[in-house]
C-alpha cells in the first residue's frame, strides 16, 4: 500500500475530524466484508480504510504521519518483495515499528506478519466492526416544558417509539443524547447515538432572562395609585401579589423561587413582575373628569430629563 492515507479516504489534507469520519463511514460500509462476502480485494480495501482512519482520527498519530510525509517518507508504503522487506524508506523495519502508531496488529493484517517480530499465533483484534452514525433531530417544546421539564413521546418513520425525558431548566438549543439510539453499527459494532436539539417556543406573556422569568403585568391607573392585590400567572399556576401604592410603569416586583431551575446549583431563579399602567383606548367620562381634577397637581415626571 503506497497510497497517501488522505487519498485512501478521499479527503483533503485540511479535512476536519467530521469530514474524515464521514468519509470513513461511507467507505467502510461500501467495502465491509459482510457486504462483499468472499471478495478479497474488498476485504483488503476495507483494512486499508481502517488503517487510514485509525491514524487520521487521532490528533497525535495524524501529526506524526504528516511530519513523516513532509520529510518525503511514507511510513505505510511496503515493498512487495520477500518476507523481510520493511516499509519503503524505512529499510528493514517490520510491523513492530508501527507500535509508535499503535497499529502493529492492523499493519500485520494488511501486509502479513513476515516482516515483524510478532508471533503468527498471537490473537489479532478485528477491524471489521464499525460504530453506527449518530442520528440528529429537532424537538419543539413549549416554554413551560423547558422551565419545568417533562416527558415527550417521539416516533420515527420506521414506527419506533421513544420516550424522551426533558430536564427542567433547558434552554433554546440545549441537546439531549440518547446513547445507542442512532444508526445501527456494522459488523457487530455499537450503534450511534440520538442527538436531540431542543427548540423552545416563545411564550405569549413570559420572557426568559437567564434563570429568571419576566412578566409584564398590566394594571389600572387606580391600582397603580392606590395599590391593590391582584392575581399573577406563573409557570406553577396563579399566585396573589400585593401591588404597593404609588407604583410606576417599569417598576419590578419579585416572586422568589418562581423562575427556572439552574441545573448546576439546583436552585430556581425568580419571577419578576414588571408593572405596565394601562388606560382604556376609549376613555370613559370618569377618567376625563379625574384627569381634570389632578392636572394642576405640581408633578413633572420628566423633570431633569432634558437638562
* pLDDT for position 263: 87
* pLDDT for position 105: 52
C-alpha to C-alpha distance for 90 and 79, rounded to whole angstroms:
10
* pLDDT for position 74: 66
* Average pLDDT in the chain: 83
Cell readout for 291 is 384627569
C-alpha to C-alpha distance for 252 and 233, rounded to whole angstroms:
15
* pLDDT for position 237: 96
Kindly report whether the global pTM for this prediction surpasses the value 0.75.
no
For residues 86 and 94, is the Cβ–Cβ distance under 8 A? yes
* pLDDT tens figures, 134-171: 899 999 999 999 999 999 999 988 888 999 999 999 99
* pLDDT tens figures, 204-257: 999 999 999 999 999 999 999 999 999 999 999 999 999 999 999 999 999 999
Cα-Cα-Cα-Cα dihedral of 39, 41, 44, 46, to 10°? -70
* pLDDT for position 118: 46
Cell readout for 289 is 373628569
DSSP H helical segments within 166-228, as ranges?
Answer: 221-226
Domain with CATH 2.60.260.20 in the chain: 135-200, 206-294
* pLDDT for position 299: 84
Helix (H) or strand (E) holding 269, with range, is: none
Residue ranges in the chain modelled with pLDDT below 70: 1-2, 73-130, 186-187, 307
CATH of 5-115, one of 3.90.550.50, 3.90.1150.10, 1.10.287.110, 1.10.8.60: 1.10.287.110
Domain with CATH 1.10.287.110 in the chain: 5-115
Per CATH, the number for 206-294 is 2.60.260.20
Q: Which fold has domain 135-200?
A: HSP40/DNAj peptide-binding domain (2.60.260)
* pLDDT for position 72: 72
For residues 279 and 222, is the Cβ–Cβ distance under 8 A? no
C-alpha to C-alpha distance for 247 and 224, rounded to whole angstroms:
5
Amino acid at each position: 500500500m503506497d497510497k497517501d492515507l488522505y487519498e485512501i479516504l478521499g479527503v483533503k489534507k485540511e479535512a476536519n475530524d467530521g469530514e474524515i469520519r464521514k468519509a470513513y463511514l461511507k467507505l467502510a460500509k461500501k467495502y465491509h466484508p459482510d457486504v462483499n462476502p468472499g471478495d478479497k480485494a474488498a476485504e483488503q480495501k476495507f483494512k486499508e480504510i481502517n488503517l487510514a482512519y485509525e491514524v487520521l482520527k487521532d490528533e497525535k498519530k495524524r501529526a506524526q504521519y504528516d511530519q513523516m510525509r513532509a520529510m518525503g517518507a511514507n511510513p505505510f508504503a511496503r515493498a512487495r518483495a520477500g518476507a523481510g522487506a520493511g516499509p519503503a524508506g524505512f529499510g528493514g523495519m517490520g510491523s513492530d515499528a508501527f507500535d509508535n502508531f499503535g497499529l502493529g496488529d492492523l499493519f500485520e493484517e494488511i501486509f502479513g506478519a513476515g516482516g515483524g517480530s510478532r508471533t503468527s499465533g498471537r490473537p489479532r483484534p478485528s477491524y471489521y466492526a464499525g460504530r453506527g452514525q449518530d442520528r440528529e433531530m429537532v424537538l419543539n417544546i413549549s416554554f413551560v416544558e423547558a422551565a419545568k421539564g417533562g416527558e415527550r413521546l417521539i416516533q420515527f418513520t420506521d414506527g419506533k417509539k421513544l420516550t424522551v425525558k426533558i430536564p427542567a431548566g433547558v434552554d433554546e438549543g440545549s441537546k439531549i443524547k440518547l446513547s445507542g439510539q442512532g444508526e445501527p453499527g456494522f459488523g457487530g459494532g455499537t450503534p450511534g447515538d440520538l442527538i436531540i436539539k431542543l427548540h423552545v417556543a416563545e411564550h405569549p406573556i413570559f420572557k426568559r432572562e437567564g434563570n429568571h422569568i419576566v412578566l409584564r403585568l398590566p394594571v389600572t391607573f387606580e391600582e397603580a395609585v392606590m395599590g391593590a392585590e391582584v392575581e399573577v400567572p406563573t409557570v406553577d399556576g396563579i399566585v396573589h401579589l400585593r401591588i404597593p401604592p404609588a407604583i410606576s410603569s417599569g417598576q419590578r416586583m419579585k416572586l422568589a423561587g418562581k423562575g427556572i431551575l439552574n441545573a448546576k446549583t439546583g436552585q430556581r431563579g425568580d419571577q419578576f413582575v414588571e408593572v405596565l399602567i394601562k388606560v382604556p383606548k376609549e376613555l370613559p367620562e370618569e377618567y376625563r373628569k379625574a384627569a381634570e381634577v389632578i392636572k394642576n397637581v405640581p408633578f413633572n415626571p420628566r423633570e431633569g430629563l432634558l437638562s
